[in-house]
Amino acid sequence: MSQKMTRRRLLLGGAATAAVAMVKSSFGKMVQTGIPEAAIDPTKQVGPLPGILGTRSPFEHPQRKASLTSSQTPLQDLYGIITPSDLHFERHHAGVPAIDPNTYELTIHGMVDRPTVFTLADLKRFPSVSRICFIECSGNFRKPDKETITPQDICGLTSQSEWTGVMLSTIFREVGVDPKATWFLAEGSDAAVMTRSIPVSKGWDDAMIVYAQNGEAIRPQQGYPARLLLPGWEGNTSIKWLRRIELSDGPFMTREETSKYTEPVKDGKIRQFSFTMDARSIITYPAYPVQLQKGWVEIRGIAWSGRGRITGVEVSTNAGKTWQAARLQEPVMDKAHTYFRYLWQWDGDTTEIMSRATDETGYTQPSLKELIAARGIGTGYHLNPVTAWLVKRGGEVVYRPEKWK
């Protein structure tokens, strides 16, 4: 290396040093085994040999943010579209049940020709399908009430996996669903015995019973050993730890679709069975708590829609005055988190950056103002407004507070 080295020049001039924007994690450090903290010169020291399981670097500690009822995916720490399985968000109503896969049973009965009990091995014997899609909680929203919150806080109740299992339509044919059946009940085997009524049409369309996630057996927190998967629909309907499906000619009016998971709209009306998650996007970089530096910045984020493919994401870097098309990472998949990127040269002045998604139905993600005008304030369910980040002159990036009443 005889040539003179220069420190990295920034893309088109700009700051003179190599210091650039870095996200500082708000979590404590979690040291894992196997890989020691950095040696002075790693070429001088033989490292740990191959092992049965890999580990994270002791310098990396992505974590969900957990409450008593849910845990949120650290979107600001992630890249691309796969959510690592141990970082997939959780929302459960009575904790994670412990289920022995060898005694697991799924009962299908009601308006069917052949009421049947399936073992896990039975389910795995059917023709299988894999698909990459998101699951999002319908309560995936945080009011813009303060500046110091992250993408994880705002909408960390969405995650994406490659799911593998059997189409529910295959099982419907196997048990002989009565053509007069219009709804089915899906019931979990958690201590809440979580139940939802689902239109049979979704079962014939793209519903699945899945037993694998990101290549391996589904995780207990995501429904081990098998869950319902209703692509694009609010997460609670994809019943985890699925133990029973009952076919019927009407909805069952369970607690989770009467007292919960309905939302007031206007004029005192209540919207019920509002299954589909509308198109949404969020910039995950730069976002709080990033400290930005002047010059070129690749704005990055995810966009998704429960109604089909994302057809476009627009980014504004001037508080919504003008919008530009972001690049979408191929392949763009149906009802799937889609990664978008937009290269921006920040001049160092205060501004607001935001994104809005459009899906294949032509629907475009609304602003919070538009959403409240259309729907009223209502509950925290099914809120998908544009998220704006305020970039301050010093480079501080924060959640833009917005009127909410």
What residues numbered 346-405 form the site for a second copy, per CB under 8 A? Answer: none
CB of 12 to a second copy, least distance (A): 11
16 touches a second copy by CB under 8 A? no
C-alpha span between 31 and 40 (Å, rounded): 18
Closest to a second copy by CB, 51 or 179: 51
9 touches a second copy by CB under 8 A? yes
CB of 314 to a second copy, least distance (A): 18
Out of 31, 270, 325, 343, the only residue in the binding site for a second copy (CB under 8 A) is 343
Closest to a second copy by CB, 70 or 367: 70
Is 133 in contact with 81 (CB distance < 8 Å)? Answer: no
CB of 311 to a second copy, least distance (A): 17
Is 186 in contact with 210 (CB distance < 8 Å)? Answer: no
Closest to a second copy by CB, 325 or 374: 325
Closest to a second copy by CB, 65 or 307: 65
Nearest to 304 by CA among 137, 134, 142: 134
Closest to a second copy by CB, 191 or 373: 191
Torsion of CA 66, 68, 399, 307, to 10 degrees: 90
The tokens 């699925």 sit on which residue? 242
Record the tokens describing residue 31, joined without a space.
């040291």
Binding mask 37-66 for a second copy (x = CB under 8 A): xxx--xxxxxxxxxxxxxxxx-xx-xxxxx
255 touches a second copy by CB under 8 A? no
Is 125 in contact with 165 (CB distance < 8 Å)? Answer: no
C-alpha span between 83 and 161 (Å, rounded): 6
Closest to a second copy by CB, 292 or 368: 292
Residue type, 216: E
> Would you list the DSSP string of 288-331?
TT-B--SEEEEEEEEEE-TTS-EEEEEEESSTTSS-EEPEEPSS
- E strands of 18-151, at which residues? 65-66, 70-72, 90-91, 105-110, 116-119, 129-136
Binding-site residue total for a second copy (CB under 8 A)? 125
Window of 123-131, 248-256, 276-284, 314-322 that interacts with a second copy by CB under 8 A: 123-131
99 touches a second copy by CB under 8 A? yes
Nearest to 64 by CA among 187, 164, 150, 138: 150
Window of 117-125, 274-282, 317-325, 385-393 that interacts with a second copy by CB under 8 A: 117-125
Closest to a second copy by CB, 11 or 270: 11
The 324-325 sheet, strands edge to edge: 324-325, 310-316, 351-359, 388-391, 397-399
Question: Euclidean distance between the first and final Cα of the chain, in Å?
Answer: 63
Out of 150, 158, 197, 214, the only residue in the binding site for a second copy (CB under 8 A) is 214
Record the tokens describing residue 129, joined without a space.
């399908």
Binding mask 126-155 for a second copy (x = CB under 8 A): xxxxx-------------------------
12 touches a second copy by CB under 8 A? no
Neighbours of 253 (CB within 10 A): 9
CB of 89 to a second copy, least distance (A): 9
Window of 102-110, 138-146, 364-372, 392-400 that interacts with a second copy by CB under 8 A: 102-110
- R_g (Cα) of the chain, nearest Å: 23
122 touches a second copy by CB under 8 A? yes
Window of 121-129, 229-237, 377-385, 394-402 that interacts with a second copy by CB under 8 A: 121-129
CB of 199 to a second copy, least distance (A): 22
Out of 16, 33, 179, 216, the only residue in the binding site for a second copy (CB under 8 A) is 216
Closest to a second copy by CB, 10 or 265: 10
Window of 139-147, 198-206, 210-218, 349-357 that interacts with a second copy by CB under 8 A: 210-218
35 touches a second copy by CB under 8 A? yes
Nearest to 218 by CA among 369, 99, 109, 367: 99
269-328 positions binding a second copy, by CB under 8 A: 296-298, 300
CB of 378 to a second copy, least distance (A): 25
Is 252 in contact with 239 (CB distance < 8 Å)? Answer: no
DSSP H helical ranges for 119-266: 120-125, 151-155, 168-175, 200-205, 255-258
